[in-house]
Structure 1
Amino acid sequence: MIDDRILVKNVLAGDMQAFRLLIRQHEKLVAHMIGRLVKKDEEREELCQDVFLRVHEKLGEFSFQSKLSTWIATIAYRYAINHLRKQKIRFADLPDEESFTKHFIEETDPESIVEEGDTDAFVLKLVDELPPQYKTVLTLYHVEGMTYPEICEVTQMPEGTVKNYLFRARNLLKEKVKKYLGKEELL
């Protein structure tokens, strides 16, 4: 993996191979950021392309005050949120905690997935049912390995909110898994 500073320098010098490498190094991150919030395949694909166009356009303004991956994740996150707003899907509109928890715990039936032994698919299905901000924070922390300050930078949420959402997301997942497996020790 090439150093981010060298990669950015090469891209800014017009090296398209370096830009392809930048895309390859960060495409999973962008796909996770967009995919956790936008459900339609064609919209996700278009947004991912738009993110990398924006990255290319604004790369000269990147000053390495944060990691390149954090900067790119921020762009992807903002694109996804803006897309949701344009679709009139309110990101912050959540049912109250009690009604959401009741729906989340009782209505999903992933037993067939668990019986087939595909635990990863089971967990991903549960994560996809979380509210957007829970999915985002959980993905950034556990899948992308970002720190709390990095997640705060990407989402523009205070650290306490990030920790709270991560805590709530884990608890919802734990309750759901316990309901279907009846084994708290797995978690």
Structure 2
Amino acid sequence: MIDEKELLPRILHGDLKAFEVLVKQYQGLVFHVVNRIINTKEDKEDICQEVFMKVHQHLHRFEYKSKLSTWIARIAYVTAINYCKKYSSDNIVAHPADIENYSFTEENPGKLLDKKDVTEYINRLIAQMPEQYRTVLTLFHLNEFSYQEIAEITGMPEGTVKSYLFRGRKLLKEKLSVYLKNELS
């Protein structure tokens, strides 16, 4: 773990090695956030680079009011969402308002995988979810952000974060129960 209060001044004074340390520390987080919003590999790579350019460019604005990871995740989230809005509606998955009309892959999960592939199946289900559910589930369960931090990152009210997390889990539970029934049959 890096000491942010020591590292950030070095970056602000032009230390590229210090910035490289920051990138290595947070590249996984940035990729997770971007990966759950953007569909194409090339776009994911471009957006991740853009995120770190923005981090470097705006680092002087970071005021330690939140964790650095929260601030960077917020930049990643906003950059990915703005990219989707600007370039293509094909890059972003359905909005949660459409959830009643939303369908997952109709493939038989039992035929798709064996027990070793449950994680892959769960990731596939998450990838098919509306963007807001995907993002909230990822930030909470994979990146271990709190409700408040997710609210800061996404700009959603904390109650909305909790609601999306609840609904996303419910959808996963429904689809996993089908898988488990087929697996146990």
TM-score (norm 2): 0.90
Q: Does 2:171 correspond to 1:172? A: yes
* Closer, same or farther: CA 117–55 of 1 in aligned 2, 3 Å: same
2:150 partner amino acid:
I
Residue in 1 that maps onto 2:59: 59
Determine the C-alpha separation between the residues in 1 that align with 2:38 and 2:149: 22
- Which is further off, 111-120 or 168-177? 111-120
Residues 87-96 or 137-146, more deviating: 87-96
Counterpart of 1:178 in structure 2: which amino acid? Answer: S
| Residue 123 (structure 1) shift | 1.0
Partner of 2:101: 99
Q: Which residue of 2 aligns with 1:139?
A: 138
CA contact (8 A) 2:95 2:132 kept: no
Provide the residue aligned with 2:3 in structure 1. 3
Deviations 1:111-160 (A, max 9, x none): 34431522211111111011000000000000110001100000000111
Equivalent residue letter for 1:166: L
Aligned residues: 180
Give the residue type in structure 1 aligned to 2:69: S
Unmatched segments (≥5 aa) in structure 2: none
Residue in 1 that maps onto 2:181: 182
CA RMSD of aligned residues (A): 1.8
In structure 1, what is the Cα distance between the partners aligned to 2:79 and 2:128? Answer: 21
**What letter corresponds to residue 23 of structure 1 in structure 2?**
V
Give the percent of matched residue pairs that are identical in Structure 1 and Structure 2.
Answer: 45
Q: Which runs of 5+ in 1 are unaligned?
A: none
Q: Distance in 1 between matches of 2:32 and 2:123?
A: 12
1:41-89 per-residue CA deviation (whole Å, 9 max, x = no partner) reads 0000000000000000000111111100000000000001001101342
Contact 1:23 1:52 in 2 (8 A): yes
Superposed structure 1 runs of 4+ greater than 4 Å apart: none
Aligned residues of 1:113 and 1:121 also touching (Cα < 8 A):
no
Q: Aligned partners of 1:54, 1:175: CA distance in 2, in Å?
A: 39
CA distance in 2, matches of 1:75, 1:98: 30
What is the CA-CA distance between 1:109 and the residue it aligns to? 3.7
The corresponding residue for 1:114 is 113
